[in-house]
Structure 1
Amino acid sequence: MCCASVTAQPRAPLVIFLNPGYSDEPFWSDYSRYMQDAADDLGMELKVLYGERDPVRMLANARQVLDGEHPDYLIFTNEQFQGPVVLRLFENSAVKLFALHSTLTDEQQALIGGSRERHRNWLGSLVPNDEEAGYLMGRDLIALTEGQPAELLAFSGVKQTPSSILRLAGLQRALNEAPQIKLMQAVHGEWQEQRAYEQAVSLLPRYPGVSLVWSANDAMAFGVMRAADELGRDLRYAALNNSTRVLQAHIDGRIDVLASGHFILGACAMVMLNDHARDLDFITRGGESQVASLLRVIDRTQSEKLLKRLARPDIDLDFGQFSLLKHPEQSRYDCSIASLLE
């Protein structure tokens, strides 16, 4: 009796993502959804544990992974500067670690080392171009004044979050190029609409000459907008995100400048880790610490196109196309939302 030989299929890499956001928070739940799209395209397995924006919960999730089923890869963020704690937890583990969305700061790495140094199982990181996004938002918001003097308020995110720090640094770069624009105050709205609303209720009467509002995300912009409406103030806004609400507000002209594109960053990381699992180390294609130029200022026509694409159950983006196993001629990854805007 003859039996046909069976070729063993490679096991699907298992990835666990320590998502720092709320499980019902549109940005972070969609972020995970696009990562799952990528996992499906690439033949990977993905599990997501939500931290509910609670550092204690985030670390409990990390310990759960350490004490339970060991994945091939653990993706973590440096939200609220928790990255070094995760690295210490897993320093004697065979689990390979990858920092996503926010990596360790230069100061943190000066103390404990960078990826593949003291913590050999920390493979690297992928972060968005947050500083550039903050700069582009500031530049385009300032351009609305046509060179005239103006006063500006800035609403940044959680103080101990690299994305918040970098976006605000980008705004400062734009302000350095426009001495006629005066930054009256920058506050930490902590990404929250209600907190930004309460801050704006206090700040707007204090600064009657303010006409420009720069917001590091969309929720805070809407909080300021609500306060401005109640106070009868007509302001110009720059914001960042891809929610249905902010895309529609941009289309309607209530948000003047909008940056978006970073929502597929996690999916791009899945592409890099899938290549790594199949013996193409991303360190040879852009280095172990990479910045994805995903964030860009989009116009109203592009907001309309993005709104329609993101409303679909599946955004119909084949993440396999970004694998460098398929494009060995490329020297680095080029994952982007360009096709969603066509």
Structure 2
Amino acid sequence: MLKVLCGCVWWVGMTFGAMAHATSVVFLNPGMSTEAFWVSYAQFMQAAAKDLGLDLRVRYSERDPQNTLQQAREALQGPQRPDYLVLVNEQYIAPQILRMAQGSTVKLLIVNNALTPDQAQLLDAGKYPNLLGSMVANDEEGGYLMFTELLRQYGPVPAGTTLDVLAFSGAKNTPTAQLREQGLQRALREHPQVHLRQLVYGEWKRERAFEQAIQMFKRYPRTALVWSANDEMALGAMQALKASGRTPGKDVLFSAVNSSPDVLRARLDGQLSALVAGHFTVGGWAMVLLHDDARGVDIQRHGGRERQVKLFQVIAEPQAQRLLDRAGREGEGVDFRALSAQGKPAAYQYPFSMQSVLH
């Protein structure tokens, strides 16, 4: 059973004795407690934690990095320190938390946004023996896949003509946003007839993207394609197109990342032409790693210290319907224990993928 108290999500229902001995994990969730992606992300983590017998506590920053730092301080220096702290390098915040963790017995794992190469060089990861490493999705490939699928949906571009594209990236100081942009730029280099007219930073927010798109559609009336680094910005841009009297999926084709109910419905009704998803599972797979580490498994032998998992895939209508049917029940039917490396051969590699979710 789930309870939400003071912005935290707890699993309750285990006996006190079981709770006392369970491996404890705190996840510093950088999103809003009402934000579809980060809520579904936490739900998938909770499903994994329950299956694996972990005591998981999720704390939302409400998109305020100062909240994240305070929550990290409480976890690392407070009276009830967890065995593990899971964090996201959103807005480049990880180095401050790593420095805060020096001398602590808490082990750390970074998910979704790893340390940048510059951060890793400046920090010298060897100084932080409690850092288990990182696990991220293939964000560059996700940005690339999304745009190439958008072009496929559009169809052949007649010789001698060009297509105008608008792009909405996330937060500028977020590795995930930068990598997805790099994927977009790679796709653009392969298709010189497609012209990127403007890229803006929508900060992952629907309202901000709506306001930006209102002006951009006026400035670039020949826009044919819109690329968005998440679902909220895509939905905001689609709303702006409707306000101009045009129809998403007909007059302009849109793409997005994520699998919120709103964007899945937009994919099913044809307003959204291209969708990629999969990275909402990273936190759940991280629970498998922590479960194994707590039981003495050398998790680095089964995939290394810095992991990039190929999670993004194009979501066609059947997959969109399956994800929509399971909305609010993320992780249902996934056997997380079966993914453990405990008792497996030395050559075993964790088989993390969206297929475990979409089966």
TM-score class normalised by the smaller sequence? over 0.9
Q: Give the Cα separation in 1 of the matches to 2:227 and 2:242.
A: 17
Contact 1:305 1:340 in 2 (8 A): no
1:63 and 2:56 correspond: no
Amino acid at match of 1:316: G
Contact 2:51 2:336 in 1 (8 A): yes
Deviations 1:60-104 (A, max 9, x none): 101111222121111111011100000000111111111011111
Task: Note the C-alpha offset of 1:292.
Answer: 1.4
Q: Give the Cα separation in 1 of the matches to 2:64 and 2:19.
A: 39
Amino acid at match of 1:92: G
Contact 2:135 2:309 in 1 (8 A): yes
Contact 1:78 1:161 in 2 (8 A): yes
Structure 1 length-normalised TM = 0.93
Contact 2:311 2:353 in 1 (8 A): yes
Tell me the equivalent position of 1:11: 21
1:302 and 2:319 correspond: yes
Amino acid at match of 1:181: V
Mind listing any 5+ residue stretches in structure 2 that lack a counterpart? 1-17
Mind listing any 5+ residue stretches in structure 1 that lack a counterpart? 1-7
1:331 and 2:348 correspond: yes
Contact 1:142 1:181 in 2 (8 A): no
Task: Note the C-alpha offset of 1:184.
Answer: 0.6
Tell me the equivalent position of 2:105: 94
| SS of structure 1 residue aligned to 2:326 | helix
1:141 and 2:150 correspond: yes
199 and 75 in structure 1: CA distance in 2 versus 1, 3 angstrom threshold: same
Task: Note the C-alpha offset of 1:311.
Answer: 4.8
Amino acid at match of 1:98: L
Q: What is the aligned counterpart of 2:303 among 286, 298, 301?
A: 286
Q: Give the Cα separation in 2 of the matches to 1:9 and 1:145.
A: 53
Q: Give the Cα separation in 1 of the matches to 2:335 and 2:99.
A: 36
Q: What is the aligned counterpart of 2:178 among 165, 172, 192?
A: 165
Amino acid at match of 1:147: P
Q: Give the Cα separation in 1 of the matches to 2:329 and 2:86.
A: 26
Alignment: residue pair count: 333
Task: Note the C-alpha offset of 1:163.
Answer: 0.8
Q: Give the Cα separation in 2 of the matches to 1:314 and 1:286.
A: 22
Q: Give the Cα separation in 2 of the matches to 1:212 and 1:112.
A: 41
Tell me the equivalent position of 1:198: 211
Q: How does 1:1-342 map to 2 (within 5 A)?
A: 11-68=21-78, 69-114=80-125, 117-148=126-157, 149-233=162-246, 234-312=251-329, 315-325=332-342, 327-328=344-345, 331-342=348-359
Amino acid at match of 1:126: M
**Root-mean-square deviation over aligned CA pairs:** 1.8
Task: Note the C-alpha offset of 1:312.
Answer: 4.1
Q: Give the Cα separation in 2 of the matches to 1:63 and 1:131.
A: 32
Amino acid at match of 1:177: E
Amino acid at match of 1:81: Y
| SS of structure 2 residue aligned to 1:316 | coil
Q: Give the Cα separation in 2 of the matches to 1:326 and 1:21.
A: 36
Amino acid at match of 1:164: A
Deviations 1:242-273 (A, max 9, x none): 11111111011111000111111101000011
Amino acid at match of 2:277: S
Structure 2 length-normalised TM = 0.89
Task: Note the C-alpha offset of 1:18.
Answer: 0.9
Amino acid at match of 1:249: A
| Identity rate, percent | 45
Task: Note the C-alpha offset of 1:22.
Answer: 1.3
Contact 2:302 2:346 in 1 (8 A): no
Q: Give the Cα separation in 1 of the matches to 2:23 and 2:116.
A: 29
26 and 145 in structure 1: CA distance in 2 versus 1, 3 angstrom threshold: closer
Deviations 1:199-230 (A, max 9, x none): 01111111111110000011101111111111
Q: Give the Cα separation in 2 of the matches to 1:339 and 1:67.
A: 37
Tell me the equivalent position of 2:4: none
Q: Give the Cα separation in 1 of the matches to 2:332 and 2:347.
A: 25
Contact 2:154 2:253 in 1 (8 A): no
